[in-house]
């Protein structure tokens, strides 16, 4: 779907007699400007003026470049949720059926501000939190949801999951999103998951830590046929940027995992990833262990 076709799906909320510029003119120029780094309505207008010939060749209805006030008024009249829905449809058509890893993560946007008549320079202490879904194979963001504070990611993630076609995808989420209801929702969306487990689930974290420590003590040899059916190890070593890093992924797969952890819908395997980093200049070594639960249909 082209940007022109996308614009046809956007309802124009302006009064007829004040529509000097078409929706496609405003949206096309604004999207191109933002992609190229514009951060204000003034910069979007300036970007449009500096590339007027380019836009005139691609937008049939373009007569002149809208002013910064026009861009401001148009987008202020749009509901962010409505525009986000239109954007998701556009992304779906561009990507067709995306597969592979979809990483869902929350970020705090640096430098964001919330201005109002009472606070024209921005609200003191304001922070903008976004939860986004990133399609690794396609290299694009499939959708985003704004949350009032970082702790609200837990309620925003299911909303994002419902909005996306995740069938046959692998959804990865950090420890904040490692929740039983989120795991259940992912399975309902016909996807698999890899969830990072930390101390926010102390009992689960301690169980995984204890299991893998016990396997280390028993010196489980994954190359032996008896163990190969349930255990697997993968090891990589990289040297660069003044350090050497050895990573080991240790997987334990048990058909009764769902009985051991019935609250985690679809769980099939548990994983420990050990990262050993050595600073080449000083010889100082640090070790970090991370734990995950996995559902693979």
Residues contacting 251, CB < 8 A, separation 6+: 231, 232, 233, 234, 269, 270, 271, 294
Residues contacting 183, CB < 8 A, separation 6+: 193, 195, 264, 265, 266, 267, 293, 295
Report the chain's C-alpha Rg in angstroms.
25
Neighbours of 126 (CB within 10 A): 11
Both tokens of 123, joined, read 């609200």
Report pTM: 0.73
Euclidean distance between CA atoms 168 and 133, whole angstroms: 15
What is the bridge-based pairing of β-strands 231-240 and 192-197?
A: unpaired
Q: What is the residue-wise DSSP string for 202-233?
A: HHHHHHHHHHHHHHHHHT--TTSHHHHTTEEE
Helix, strand or coil, per DSSP, at residue 189: coil
pLDDT band at 22 (very low <50, low <70, confident <90, very high): confident
Euclidean distance between CA atoms 210 and 227, whole angstroms: 18
For helices 68-76 and 41-50, angle between their N-to-C axes, nearest 10 degrees: 120
* Cα distances (Å, whole numbers) of residue 108 to 85, 145, 153, 172: 22, 12, 11, 19
Neighbours of 203 (CB within 10 A): 8
pLDDT of the residue at 1: 52
Q: Which of 12, 25, 24 is nearest to 64 (CA)?
A: 25
Q: Which of left, alpha, beta for 125 (phi over 0: left; psi -120 to 50: alpha)?
A: left
Whether pLDDT at 57 is above 70: yes
Q: Which stretch of DSSP H or E encloses residue 185?
A: helix 180-188
Over residues 110-159, the pLDDT tens digits come to 655 555 556 555 556 567 788 888 888 878 887 788 776 655 778 889 88
* Burial call 150-177: b when 16+ CB within 10 Å, e when fewer: eeebbebbbebbebbebeebbbbbebbb
pLDDT of the residue at 14: 76
pLDDT band at 98 (very low <50, low <70, confident <90, very high): confident
* Cα distances (Å, whole numbers) of residue 8 to 5, 11, 43, 103, 236: 5, 8, 25, 30, 50
pLDDT of the residue at 268: 94
Over residues 259-270, the pLDDT tens digits come to 999 999 999 999
The pLDDT mean for the chain works out to 85
Length of the chain: 297
Both tokens of 178, joined, read 């490692």
């Amino acid at each position: 779907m082209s940007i022109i076709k996308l614009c046809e799906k956007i309802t124009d909320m302006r009064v007829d007699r004040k529509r000097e510029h078409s929706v496609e003119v405003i949206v096309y120029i604004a999207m191109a400007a933002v992609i190229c780094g514009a951060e204000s309505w003034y910069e979007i207008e300036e970007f449009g003026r500096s590339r007027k010939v380019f836009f005139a060749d691609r937008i049939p209805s373009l007569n002149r470049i809208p002013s910064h006030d026009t861009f401001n008024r148009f987008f202020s009249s749009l509901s962010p949720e409505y525009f986000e829905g239109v954007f998701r449809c556009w992304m779906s058509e561009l990507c067709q059926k995306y597969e592979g890893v979809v990483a869902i993560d929350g970020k705090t946007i640096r430098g964001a501000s919330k201005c109002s008549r009472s606070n024209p320079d921005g609200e003191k202490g304001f922070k903008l939190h976004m939860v986004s879904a990133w399609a690794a194979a396609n290299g694009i963001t499939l959708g985003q949801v704004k949350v009032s504070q970082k702790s609200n990611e837990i309620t925003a993630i299911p909303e994002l999951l419902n909005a996306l076609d995740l069938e046959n995808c692998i959804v990865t989420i950090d420890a904040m999103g490692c929740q039983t209801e989120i795991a259940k929702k992912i399975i309902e969306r016909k996807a698999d998951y890899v969830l990072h487990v930390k101390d926010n689930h102390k009992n689960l974290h301690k169980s995984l830590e204890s299991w893998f420590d016990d396997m280390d003590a028993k010196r489980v040899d994954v190359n032996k046929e008896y163990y190969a059916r349930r255990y697997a190890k993968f090891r990589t070593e990289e040297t660069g940027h003044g350090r050497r890093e050895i990573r080991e992924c240790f997987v334990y797969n048990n058909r009764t995992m769902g009985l051991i952890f019935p609250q985690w819908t679809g769980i099939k395997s548990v994983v420990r990833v050990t990262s050993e980093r050595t600073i080449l200049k000083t010889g100082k070594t640090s070790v970090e262990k991370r734990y995950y639960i996995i559902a693979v249909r």
